[in-house]
Structure 1
Amino acid sequence: MHADTHRLWHLVDARAAEATALADAVWAVPELNFAETRSCALHARALHDAGFQVTSGVADLPTALLGEAGTGGPVIAFLGEYDALPGLSQQAGATTHQPLSGDGNGHGCGHNLLGAASLLAASALKDWLAEAGLPGRVRYYGCPAEEGGAGKGIMVRAGAFHGVDAAITWHPGSFAMVFPPASLASQRVDFTFAGRSAHATAAPHLGRSALDAAELMNIGVNYLREHMPPTARVHYAYLETGSNALDVLPARAVVAYSIRAGDLPEMLALADRVRTIAEGAALMTETAVTCTVVSGMANLLGNQPLEEAMQIQLERLGPPPFTTTDRAFAEEMRATLDGQQVATVFRALNLPVQSDMTVCDSIIPYVPNRSRSMMGSTDVGDVSWVVPTAQALGATSAVGTPLHSWQMTAQGCSTLAHTGMIHVAKAMAATGAELLRDAALLARVRAAHASQIADQPYVSPMPSPA
């Protein structure tokens, strides 16, 4: 181990109290995607106080920001998030469901911790570079709207990551490990059907029902399911159904579709097929249809050399140093979960179920190309197509805690969460340091990324605005 790795860890510890305060402050003002005004301001202030040059409004997004420090050398980026979720408000530390009064938002995915730990890692690495007098630049990207808004995809489309040599990030969870780079590419599309209203009894032949068109589209997509790739997922919800009066044929209907598939080209091809079905439904009903892409996310691309480097740093650290108090709290939280919830968290990462484990007391071994049995979508995927990217998973909750749950929100200000957050910040900072001092490693990381996109360059799943 490099002797100065310990110095870097000490620099993380030196700023840990600031990061803990930031995480708790963001937890207390849970804001939904693209409206993270106060949370973004808290991060901007923390960056300024840490000595970063801060740029706000990145990619014309009011709640996106960039902090940069250092000169020359490679550019290492740390990705942070701070958006919350609706309906997951919860009393901090409570082991029963106790929603708070107010807007009902809550950090049920731990993004208050995510942004704080990434900023902590960036700040410690900046301090380490300055002490060592080494060339290199450290960037912290404050990224809004991961929860469905695809903020990073918008930032990628705007070129915000140009010049970055590698990106490092993480996500709160139950385990300490390299996060498997498996997610689904996705696109949210709204289909608006426009017809002609008429009296349903007196003159039905004069009407052209937009609702009929939407219904026929759904039928067509249901038949498409037999012919989709096995990893594909298609979900829909009605946003508008026209008139509620039974004797008025509706002239307008809007149905939203979430289209997901194993990789970006597969998803874009599937989305084209769904559009064709919508056009067919409009043709059958003599209505018109318009398609609006609301958001989109690419699938994650792994980078084995970078992931291996991150695993080395995790193993050097060892497991998070949870206290007796942390373990007792985890036991209480674990009692609120049923066995199926706990087993699902293990199986989602293809890990053997250990029903008696309450906190993560080991570093999960690295398995290249480890598959996940259940996958969602994340806009980190878009970054991974344009910059070599690796993610850690941090142990910030009782083992088995599902994301997007009141239990996750309840643990977001605990010493258990803080311990896991600081632990993963050390691993991320040390991974960044290794990239800066080992030119051969960085060359392998770049080469691995270049080979992945050689035959299939990145195509944004979100069209550029007109």
Structure 2
Amino acid sequence: MRNDEQVWRLVDDRKEPYAALSDRVWGTPELCYDEHRSAAAHREMLEAEGFRVTTDVAGIPTALMGEWGEDGPVIAILGEYDALPGLSQEAGIAEKRPMEGSTYGHGCGHNVLGAASLMAASAVKDWLRANNLPGRIRYYGCPAEEGGAAKGFMVRDGAFDDVDLAISWHPACFSGVNEPSSLANTRIDFSFTGRAAHAASSPHLGRSALDAIELMNVGVNYMREHMPSDARIHYAYLDAGGIAPNVVQAKTKVRYLIRARNLEELRGLVTRVRKIADGAALMTETTVSTQVISAVSNLLGNTPLEQAMHDNYQRLGPPQFSEADRAYAAEIQKTLREEDIVSAYRRQGLTPEKGKSLCDLIVPLGTKGAGMVGSTDVGDVSWKVPTVQARGATYAIGTPGHSWQVVAQGKAPAAHTGMVHVAKVMAGTAVDALRNPDLIAKAKADHQARTGGKPYESPLPADAKPALGMSLAE
């Protein structure tokens, strides 16, 4: 039996308990840095599997790491388990129907993400033991990917200092190696302070913090014409100053999410946004203070690891979905626009096909699609150590990320099938590296070339801390 077939069988043996883990996390959706029940479920599984468990990684209560093995190379497999607000949804149906008593939901599939990654790490652990080989396999339970940049804090704190390479994945419509494209970003809170006054009898005595925010937003919106076309800026009011229109608002707060192609461009945009905020304060005779909530780097690719992962996809073939899976996915597609489905193909560089509800192919390596304009804190791991990511088909083609449709499909048999499939790909890639020191050496050489040999520099300010207890995804 080939090594990949051996570790794939070890993955198959775990399908039921890890599907149950995924469903358990789906049933307890928690926002970033508040994933206490989800982290506990992963810790319990790690302990049951015999891993040495470290909790409170980087001082984050919901971050953990499980390790098995001695000596040899260190392979990290990354998992996530945070949910999103406003996406409560019943499972297994094809209509929008929020669940009573909950407003959160796993609209990015992180319940499946964490379970598949831990599943792969556990299979590699048993493969190492069965073959009596040196090497350490680690599972990193990473909270707060949705806005909290937890991996960035973990990297900055040294959690990946002795890792040789890292493997991750994300739920998607299609299966294949993830194109290493994402935007660097930062989240900054701008707080304006003015002076309250009676808005009718003495408005001249007031200095409106709300006016300051509105002028800042106008200035940033005018700036959009004069920034790179692939940059993105979003904002949300956290405090508009109260609900009384007859009081000049004395305090307000707005959160800005600024994205750019790389850290250099990001720093330039941040400087410009800060100048606009200062200008708004000057115009309104208010003061402004800032707090950096999070920051992440853009993704860095790694050709040798991407080829090794693609080879596993090729040997394994596409996920085998049932006719019932395809029928349910077709019902989900009826809730989508044609534009959603076409866009899903174009993002992968594929030609749209009529009548196909679930993935039945492996996206060719190197296919250039529309590219990712989102962000991920996996980017910081990729600048620290050689990193590769998979995309695993777990839901209907065209399903938009961060949608109720993702939540509805999160416990479906197709999600479990896709979870097992991508766990095999990750486990097979890890085994290839453990068996072949030359692959690790080539991956490190590629990483050295891409970084220019420069050490990782965190985009987080030195005094920034994980925003525990703060609402990051609103």
Tell me, yes or no, if the aligned pair for 2:66 and 2:138 is still in contact at 8 Å: yes
Tell me, yes or no, if the aligned pair for 1:193 and 1:254 is still in contact at 8 Å: yes
Matched ranges for 1:142-291 at <5 A: 142-291=141-290
TM-score by length of 1: 0.95
Moved more, 372-381 or 63-72: 372-381
**SS in structure 2 at match of 1:449:** helix
Residue 452 of structure 1 aligns with which residue?
A: 450
Matched ranges for 1:67-78 at <5 A: 67-78=66-77
Residue 117 of structure 1 aligns with which residue?
A: 116
**SS in structure 2 at match of 1:407:** helix
**SS in structure 2 at match of 1:463:** coil
Residue 401 of structure 1 aligns with which residue?
A: 399
Partner Cα distance (2:63, 2:102) in 1: 23
Partner Cα distance (2:242, 2:418) in 1: 52
Residue 343 of structure 1 aligns with which residue?
A: 342
Task: Decide which of 432, 437, 440 is 2:438's aligned counterpart.
Answer: 440
Residue 429 of structure 2 aligns with which residue?
A: 431
**SS in structure 1 at match of 2:397:** coil
Residue 379 of structure 1 aligns with which residue?
A: 377
Partner Cα distance (1:179, 1:228) in 2: 27
Partner Cα distance (2:404, 2:200) in 1: 49
Residue 233 of structure 1 aligns with an amino acid whose one-letter code is R
Q: CA RMSD in A?
A: 1.8
**Displacement after TM superposition at 1:281 (Å):** 2.0
Residue 351 of structure 2 aligns with an amino acid whose one-letter code is P
Residue 414 of structure 1 aligns with an amino acid whose one-letter code is A
Tell me, yes or no, if the aligned pair for 2:52 and 2:68 is still in contact at 8 Å: yes
Partner Cα distance (2:379, 2:322) in 1: 35
Residue 349 of structure 2 aligns with an amino acid whose one-letter code is N
Moved more, 62-71 or 101-110: 101-110
Matched ranges for 1:290-301 at <5 A: 290-301=289-300
Residue 293 of structure 1 aligns with an amino acid whose one-letter code is V
| Cα distance change, pair 87–196 in 1 and its aligned pair in 2 (3 A) | closer
Moved more, 138-147 or 445-454: 445-454
Residue 311 of structure 1 aligns with which residue?
A: 310
Partner Cα distance (2:50, 2:242) in 1: 57
Tell me, yes or no, if the aligned pair for 1:33 and 1:83 is still in contact at 8 Å: yes
| Cα distance change, pair 211–407 in 1 and its aligned pair in 2 (3 A) | closer
**Displacement after TM superposition at 1:360 (Å):** 1.2
**SS in structure 2 at match of 1:122:** helix
Residue 80 of structure 2 aligns with which residue?
A: 81
Residue 383 of structure 1 aligns with an amino acid whose one-letter code is V
**Displacement after TM superposition at 1:139 (Å):** 0.3
Residue 373 of structure 2 aligns with an amino acid whose one-letter code is M
| Cα distance change, pair 31–241 in 1 and its aligned pair in 2 (3 A) | closer
Tell me, yes or no, if the aligned pair for 1:107 and 1:412 is still in contact at 8 Å: yes
Residue 10 of structure 1 aligns with which residue?
A: 9
Residue 412 of structure 2 aligns with an amino acid whose one-letter code is S
**Displacement after TM superposition at 1:223 (Å):** 2.6
Moved more, 339-348 or 312-321: 339-348
**Displacement after TM superposition at 1:273 (Å):** 1.3
Residue 231 of structure 2 aligns with an amino acid whose one-letter code is A
Residue 360 of structure 1 aligns with an amino acid whose one-letter code is C
Tell me, yes or no, if the aligned pair for 2:183 and 2:298 is still in contact at 8 Å: yes
**Displacement after TM superposition at 1:180 (Å):** 1.0
Residue 360 of structure 1 aligns with which residue?
A: 359
Partner Cα distance (1:311, 1:374) in 2: 19
CA deviations on 1:65-124 (whole Å, 9 max, x unpaired) are 100000111100000011111222222211222221111221121111100100011001
**Displacement after TM superposition at 1:457 (Å):** 4.8
| Cα distance change, pair 456–272 in 1 and its aligned pair in 2 (3 A) | farther
**SS in structure 2 at match of 1:248:** coil
Tell me, yes or no, if the aligned pair for 2:348 and 2:363 is still in contact at 8 Å: no
**SS in structure 2 at match of 1:249:** coil
Residue 48 of structure 1 aligns with which residue?
A: 47
**Displacement after TM superposition at 1:419 (Å):** 0.9
Task: Decide which of 411, 414, 417 is 1:416's aligned counterpart.
Answer: 414
Residue 250 of structure 2 aligns with an amino acid whose one-letter code is A
Tell me, yes or no, if the aligned pair for 1:343 and 1:355 is still in contact at 8 Å: no
Partner Cα distance (1:92, 1:238) in 2: 31
Residue 99 of structure 2 aligns with an amino acid whose one-letter code is L
Partner Cα distance (2:376, 2:463) in 1: 21
CA deviations on 1:143-181 (whole Å, 9 max, x unpaired) are 001111222112112111111111101111111101111
Gaps of 5+ in 2: 465-474
| Cα distance change, pair 15–189 in 1 and its aligned pair in 2 (3 A) | same
Tell me, yes or no, if the aligned pair for 2:181 and 2:371 is still in contact at 8 Å: no
Gaps of 5+ in 1: none
Residue 472 of structure 2 aligns with which residue?
A: none
| Cα distance change, pair 207–310 in 1 and its aligned pair in 2 (3 A) | same
| Cα distance change, pair 240–430 in 1 and its aligned pair in 2 (3 A) | same
**SS in structure 1 at match of 2:320:** coil
**SS in structure 2 at match of 1:198:** coil
| Cα distance change, pair 333–197 in 1 and its aligned pair in 2 (3 A) | closer
Residue 135 of structure 1 aligns with which residue?
A: 134
Tell me, yes or no, if the aligned pair for 2:181 and 2:372 is still in contact at 8 Å: no
Residue 25 of structure 2 aligns with which residue?
A: 26
Residue 380 of structure 2 aligns with an amino acid whose one-letter code is D
Tell me, yes or no, if the aligned pair for 1:91 and 1:99 is still in contact at 8 Å: yes
Residue 389 of structure 1 aligns with which residue?
A: 387
Tell me, yes or no, if the aligned pair for 2:194 and 2:250 is still in contact at 8 Å: yes
Tell me, yes or no, if the aligned pair for 2:296 and 2:379 is still in contact at 8 Å: yes
Partner Cα distance (2:246, 2:420) in 1: 62
**SS in structure 1 at match of 2:290:** strand
Tell me, yes or no, if the aligned pair for 1:175 and 1:399 is still in contact at 8 Å: yes
Moved more, 306-315 or 289-298: 289-298
What is the identity percentage for the equivalent residue pairs of Structure 1 and Structure 2? Answer: 56
Tell me, yes or no, if the aligned pair for 1:64 and 1:142 is still in contact at 8 Å: yes
Partner Cα distance (1:457, 1:268) in 2: 18
**Displacement after TM superposition at 1:198 (Å):** 3.1
Tell me, yes or no, if the aligned pair for 2:394 and 2:416 is still in contact at 8 Å: yes
CA deviations on 1:123-154 (whole Å, 9 max, x unpaired) are 01111111111111000000001111222112
